[in-house]
Amino acid sequence: MLFLDGVYVGEGEQFRWVKAPTSVELTQLTHTIAHRLGRYLERQGLLERDAENSYLALDGEEEGPMDQLRGHSITYRIAVGPQQGRKVFTLQTLPDERDGYENDSVGNVSGFSLHAGVATKANQRDKLERLCRYITRPAISEKRLSLTDHGKVRYELKTPYRDGTTHVIFEPVDFIAKLAALVPKPRVNLTRFHGVFAPNSKHRALVTPAKRGKGGGQVAAEPDEKTPGQRHVAMT
């Protein structure tokens, strides 16, 4: 996600910067995210809570095939084949004794981590573009995907897990099942805008370069009235 490091006050014309969140604030927010996400997945029938308040994939017969695939994908379990329900095979190395999450810009709770240490200034357009490309990257990197000598799919993690996991090994059919679980439903918006950038915000026309949006007393010019520079700003 890409967030403003401040808020617009008044009629949306004045921007007021706020300090970066502290480690305690990030931890509290991460706890809230983990709790609400777990409850949401439980209501959707994808996970169930055991006596120790941890979540497991559902194995009921009433759920649909896609729900079963998503449930197994969430918990790193094999979704199809004779090994169904077992944990996927992983390759591990000795974990680094230095805890890379112990800093002021990361909250870590129950396997959920929230990083908020990357920022860009208003005039750093190249850095902002890199951030936008990063948050819209695909879920799978083909560069780290390969086949083993036995025909299994091996995926190398960009960063080893804290337990030392560096690779995850899938049977080909189970790998296809994991990909199927990632496919969004039809007509679902994959990019969402909130706050002053939301399509229905009355302040959107005041804070966006193209000056498009509802309210604010500003109406976008017709295409034939725009200069080449205005059209370029609207595209980017």
Residues 202, 183, single domain; the answer is: no
Convert the pLDDT of each residue in 57-101 to its tens digit. 554 444 667 777 777 776 667 777 777 777 777 777 765 554 544
- Range of 232's domain? 193-236
Question: Would the pTM count as exceeding 0.75?
Answer: no
pLDDT in tens, 165-183: 888 898 898 899 888 888 8
Same-domain pairing of 38 and 103: yes
Q: Looking at residue 219, what is its pLDDT?
A: 47
* 163 and 206 belong to one structural domain: no
Shared domain for 91 and 205, answered yes or no, is no
Q: Do residues 181 and 197 share a domain? A: no
The closest alpha carbon to 220, from 234, 201, 232, belongs to 234
Q: Is 89 in contact with 83 (CB distance < 8 Å)?
A: no
* Arithmetic mean of pLDDT over the chain: 78
Residues 83 and 68 in one domain: yes
Determine the pLDDT at residue 95.
58
Which tokens is 107 given?
A: 């909250």
Q: Using N-to-C axis directions, what is the helix angle for 65-74 and 172-182, rounded to 10°? A: 100
d(CA 218, CA 212) in angstroms, rounded, equals: 8
For residue 18, which of 2, 6, 3, 4 has the smallest C-alpha distance? 6
E strand or H helix at 234, and its extent?
Answer: helix 228-235
- Which residue has better confidence, 1 or 12? 1
Number of domain units in the chain: 2
Instruction: With respect to residue 42, please indicate whether it lies within any of the assigned structural domains.
Output: yes
pLDDT at 127 over 90: yes
